[in-house]
Amino acid sequence: MGFKEILQNDRPGARASLLEDGNLLVYGLSSIFIALNLVLIANGFFWLSILPLLVVIVLLLVFSLDKLLYLTVFLTPLSVNLGQAGFGTMVSLPVEPIMFAIMLVFLFKNLYRNTTDRHVYRHPMSILIIINLIWIFMTSITSELPLVSFKFLLSRLWFIVPFYFLSVQIFKNIRRIKSFLWCYMIPLSGVIIYSIYNLWAAGFDEQISQDVMYPFYPSHTSYGAIIAMFIPFLLFTAVNVNGSYRLRVAGLCLFILFAVAILFSYSRAVWVSLPIAFAAYLAIRLRVRFGAIMICVAVVASLLLTFQSDILMQLERNKQDSSEEFTENFQSISNISTDDSNTERLNRWSSAISMFVERPIFGWGPGTYQFLYAPFQKSYNLTLISTNAGNRGNAHSEYIGPLAESGVLGSLSFIAIVLCSLFIGLRVIYRGEQRARWLATTILLGLITYFVHAFLNNYLDTDKLSVPFWGFMAMLTALDLYETRREDAGLKELAAK
């Protein structure tokens, strides 16, 4: 018998021995880790407990970036901002460090060996996003507070790179879009139940409702805005006759839960955004021409500008403040005389416009508004909740805020992204494959709820909103690239639909 035959005959036993040795090694290391961790916990040191999670994250970074992205989406509703918890730094744990790591790995892979479909970078949405990022970079150089601005740019990159550029690649498979949505909605449902329980324990007090989602969401407005983005998908899932019975039941249960959460969020901006999204759905069903919609928007804007004095006089007569009653709370939306929330919003907008007038091209720098707007406040605009400390939010508008921070091109580049998403969504709905149309409809309607909300608030500097927002943008881009018939799908043809 030769040496080769000896090895072949001994191989099963050798494998069994190696397997047993491997198991012993795993058991031994696990026992040492558990014992050491118990000793450290008994002495008040808890950080070693996160080591297994770190090992999993590192393995996923190396071998399965898409699964790590899903894990990040799942953890986002449950993440906690250290600044709100009193630690002095505005980093959301555990998700933002993971996003940063995903961004670095994705960029490294693309520099070393381009793994991204070149059509993604040539897509109009991608081009506009890149232009917006380039302008943010340029205005960070000219910023009044460069360190703040470059930190803002970095955070915007770790939102966009994973949840737009990487996600477009993942969403080539349409089923992964639904996985992304469920990964966010399931933990969000847990936060909703937690918030409703806290609100019930407080007797459904309207003032208490603004903080019942703490520490997971910073305010009732951001909490309501995110819930509203998923309402169209849940409603369509519940009524989709082609879906499975279990999926329809799950969609219906979550839709009811999310609807109750919106009602008790007492977020007036959300209550406005949902009816407008429903009107947009009717326009889609009636196949109203894209050009006709733009003309209507222009006419309404012209009328508002023409009769702004009369409109302001009527609004000033409204003295209804926000309250626990739904009808009274809804009526208070147009109260610009005595409602502190509304009047402070006008103060922030006025300050932003004054800042824009002084620096119309480059602005004061991305992310700097809250630190620099105080001298631009006018005495007659000040309210009971006005502050000079720069600790109570930004300009309360995704459209006006960039005017002050990045100048006219900063605002226009973001508006261009919004308009492009509307165009792409309609193109998929009108020209896409059958399976993609209803999904594109729900995604577009979800985005529309935030486009409306963005007139009154801005949350794209937070992980909670940026993950679904840029994820939805990636979904529309992927559906447009991989699920839409390319023939006669040009701008002229879509505008004539």
DSSP 92: E
More confident residue, 330 or 473: 473
Question: What's residue 20's pLDDT?
Answer: 53
Mean pLDDT of 94-112: 92
More confident residue, 320 or 458: 458
Residue bearing tokens 């953890």: 75
More confident residue, 184 or 317: 184
Could you tell me the two tokens for 478? 């992927």
- Asked if residue 157 and residue 41 are part of one domain, the reply reads no
Question: What's residue 396's pLDDT?
Answer: 87
Contacts of 196 (CB under 8 A, 6+ apart): 212, 260, 261, 264
Domain that includes residue 480, residue range:
116-299+395-495
The answer, yes or no, to whether residue 311 has pLDDT greater than 50, is: no
The answer, yes or no, to whether residue 364 has pLDDT greater than 80, is: yes
pLDDT tens-digit map of 228-238? 999 999 999 99
Task: Count how many domains the chain has.
Answer: 2
Residue 135 lies in a domain: yes
Residue 378 lies in a domain: no
What is the rounded distance in angstroms from the CA atom of residue 31 to the CA atom of residue 344?
A: 58
**Pick from 56, 114, 124, 205: nearest CA to 424:** 124
More confident residue, 402 or 49: 402
Q: Return the number of other C-beta atoms located less than 10 Å from residue 87's C-beta.
A: 12
- Asked if residue 50 and residue 150 are part of one domain, the reply reads no
Question: What's residue 177's pLDDT?
Answer: 96
- Kindly report the pTM of this predicted structure: 0.85
pLDDT tens-digit map of 341-352? 778 888 889 999
Question: What's residue 472's pLDDT?
Answer: 98
Could you tell me the two tokens for 380? 């007659």
Residue 487 lies in a domain: yes
SS3 484: strand
More confident residue, 292 or 391: 292
SS3 432: strand
Mean pLDDT of 139-151: 96
- Asked if residue 43 and residue 190 are part of one domain, the reply reads no
- Asked if residue 171 and residue 45 are part of one domain, the reply reads no
- Asked if residue 279 and residue 134 are part of one domain, the reply reads yes
Contacts of 361 (CB under 8 A, 6+ apart): 407, 408, 409
The answer, yes or no, to whether residue 420 has pLDDT greater than 90, is: yes
Question: What's residue 381's pLDDT?
Answer: 74
Burial class (CB in 10 A: 0-12, 13-18, 19+), 305: exposed
Amino acid identity for residue 189 in this structure: S
Mean pLDDT of 449-465: 92
